[in-house]
Amino acid sequence: MRKIVVLEHISLDGVIQAPGGPEEDTSSGFAHGGWIAHYGDEVTGGLLRKQMNSPFDLLLGRKTFEIWEPYWPHHADIWANVNSATKYVASNTRVSSEWQPSVFLSGDIAGEVAKLKQQPGPDLHVWGSGELLQTLMKHDLVDVFWLMLYPVTLGSGKRLFADGTILAKFKVTENVVGTSGVFVVNYERDAA
């Protein structure tokens, strides 16, 4: 069975919106885009590259897909696997893309994702995709949270754990603190 692995840059106050750049996601007037820029170090960079180079398919919300779609096909030198991974996109408005391989999911997203988990293949990595994450958590579909927790508060923005989060127990299976103070932690579902 495939696992759903949520990989997120997250602030101390739980914000996951626009970590990479000022124009990444300005919805709802978010003005703090690019907030991870000052925290790069070799330790966290190495852990991030390890995740990026592992076998995976992607499970993305439409907005994240549309942010990535014009960028990653031209930056294979940074993240080659993102282009070859199957990109499963939750969208009720999109049905196709030139960025392949891409599969668009609509309707009962939780049901479609539950079916995907049962199929053979690599784990499904979720980056960004705040609205999709709320659906996945509400329907108890997340198996792993791989979080990069940054020593900054932002005060506003889309949060990882918002309305609809259900009771679920996790155990820490790995944790590292980078030299810039970023805490990287892997939480896996705890069956106990």
- pLDDT above 90: residue 13: yes
Alpha-carbon distance of 11 to 150, in angstroms, equals: 5
β-pairing, 170-177 vs 183-189, is: antiparallel
Alpha-carbon distance of 158 to 129, in angstroms, equals: 10
Q: Which CATH superfamily is domain 4-181 in?
A: Dihydrofolate Reductase, subunit A (3.40.430.10)
Q: 115-168 pLDDT, tens per residue?
A: 999 999 999 999 999 999 999 999 999 999 999 999 999 999 999 998 768 888
Task: Tokens for 95, please give them.
Answer: 């049905």
Amino acid at 21: G
Alpha-carbon distance of 172 to 96, in angstroms, equals: 38
Report the pLDDT value the prediction gives residue 192, as an integer from 0 to 100. Answer: 67
Q: 69-96 pLDDT, tens per residue?
A: 999 999 999 998 999 999 999 999 999 9
Chain mean pLDDT for the chain: 95
**pLDDT average, residue stretch 43-68:** 95
**pLDDT average, residue stretch 23-38:** 95
**pLDDT average, residue stretch 22-37:** 95
- Look at 15-19, 107-111, 127-131, 163-167 and tell me which has the smallest mean pLDDT: 163-167
- Tell whether pTM > 0.85: yes
- Angle of helix 109-118 relative to helix 130-138, nearest 10 degrees? 70
